[in-house]
């Protein structure tokens, strides 16, 4: 069964181009909508949603904040490069610019469907902001700083190995880290900023 995609985009030409690109890559476009309010009922009917930030009087970013937790992961496809941090904090799993090569969106979809977080590489050099991290991500990173393996972290926090890997991937994307060892270096340098907010 091919993965089902929801397109949330209010510009017809962009929407049609997205459909052609996505379907040519072997995905199924389950639905196209132009308004955020029309996307919400479809959240659990698809495998991933490609959403524009500017939707007339509505906002794709606000849609992400109200998206059901059990809903499909959201990929923001936008002309704006300044909302990466807010998007990731809202739970968005992918962030791609409309000016990127078209292959970038397909790369993003594949990564997100694997359970990863994908941010277009040109935006990963933004300043790292620990405030974007969730309390559980901070707990995981505290243990990374203590040189714990992912398996050990999973056992210590009573969560699955896949969940640990997802938290690590989310943190890497939110913090704009690149390269092997970057996460450990960041954790060691910022360990005192990693106290969970709800402790």
Taking residue 92's Cβ as centre, other Cβ atoms within 10 Å add up to: 28
- Determine contact, residues 6/75, Cβ cutoff 8 Å: no
Residue 177 above 80 pLDDT? no
Which among 96, 76, 79 is positioned nearest to 87, based on CA atoms?
76
Query: Which among 84-93, 95-104, 187-196 has the top mean pLDDT?
Result: 95-104
The pLDDT value given to residue 128: 61
Residue 192 above 70 pLDDT? yes
Report the range of poorest mean pLDDT among 14-18, 83-87, 174-178.
174-178
* Residue 179 pLDDT grade (very low, low, confident, very high; cuts 50, 70, 90): low
* Residue 115 pLDDT grade (very low, low, confident, very high; cuts 50, 70, 90): confident
The pLDDT value given to residue 180: 63
């Amino acid at each position: 069964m091919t993965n089902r995609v929801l397109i949330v985009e209010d510009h017809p030409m962009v929407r049609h181009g997205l459909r052609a690109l996505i379907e040519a890559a072997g995905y199924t476009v389950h639905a196209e909508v132009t308004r955020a309010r029309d996307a919400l009922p479809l959240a659990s009917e698809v495998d991933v949603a490609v959403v524009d930030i500017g939707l007339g009087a509505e906002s794709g970013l606000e849609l992400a904040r109200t998206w059901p937790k059990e809903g499909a992961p959201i990929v923001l496809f936008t002309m704006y490069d300044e909302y990466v941090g807010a998007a990731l904090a809202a739970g968005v799993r992918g962030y791609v610019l409309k000016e990127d090569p078209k292959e970038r969106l397909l790369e993003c979809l594949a990564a997100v469907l694997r359970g990863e977080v994908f941010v277009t590489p040109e935006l990963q050099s933004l300043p790292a902001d620990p405030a974007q991290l969730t309390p559980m991500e901070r707990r995981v990173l505290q243990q990374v700083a203590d040189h714990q393996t992912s398996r050990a972290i999973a056992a210590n926090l009573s969560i699955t190995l896949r969940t640990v890997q997802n938290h690590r991937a989310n943190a890497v994307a939110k913090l704009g880290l690149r390269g092997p060892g970057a996460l450990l270096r960041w954790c060691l340098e910022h360990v005192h900023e990693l106290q969970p907010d709800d402790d």
